[in-house]
Amino acid sequence: MNIIPIYRWSGEYFGFISNNYFFDTSGNYLGWIDKDGVWCSDGRFLGEIVKSNYILRRTDIVEPAPKAPRVPRAPVVPPVELVDRVGLVEIVGREDALDKYK
């Protein structure tokens, strides 16, 4: 099973992607990933994967229309919690898409 850790742009460990599904640190289903980006469990666009481990949203375009929600995945056993990273410098025209999860 391929697990990709996901971090906030500030460096805080947030969750992970497993088999194209997005989960929080507890293994709760948050959405899915497809060729168009990352989608929330309710079908709203969340953002794009950047630098393999971050989800950012472009602020200079109109967001894609929502997609039909997918069947929620059952919680999965999360990987061993990873440590935070050093935050990264902001990218003009992009924002941390995970800020919606405060």
Strand partners, 38: 33, 47
**Token representation of residue 29:** 């289903």
**Token representation of residue 14:** 């947030």
Q: What is residue 82's predicted lDDT score, i.e. its pLDDT?
A: 78
**Token representation of residue 91:** 């990218």
Q: What is the pTM of this model?
A: 0.87
Residue ranges covered by each domain of the chain: 3-100
Task: Please answer whether residues 46 and 40 qualify as being in contact, where contact means their C-beta atoms are separated by less than 8 angstroms.
Answer: yes
19-66 residue pLDDT tens? 999 999 999 999 999 999 999 999 999 999 999 999 999 999 898 999
Q: What is residue 1's predicted lDDT score, i.e. its pLDDT?
A: 61
Q: What is residue 66's predicted lDDT score, i.e. its pLDDT?
A: 96
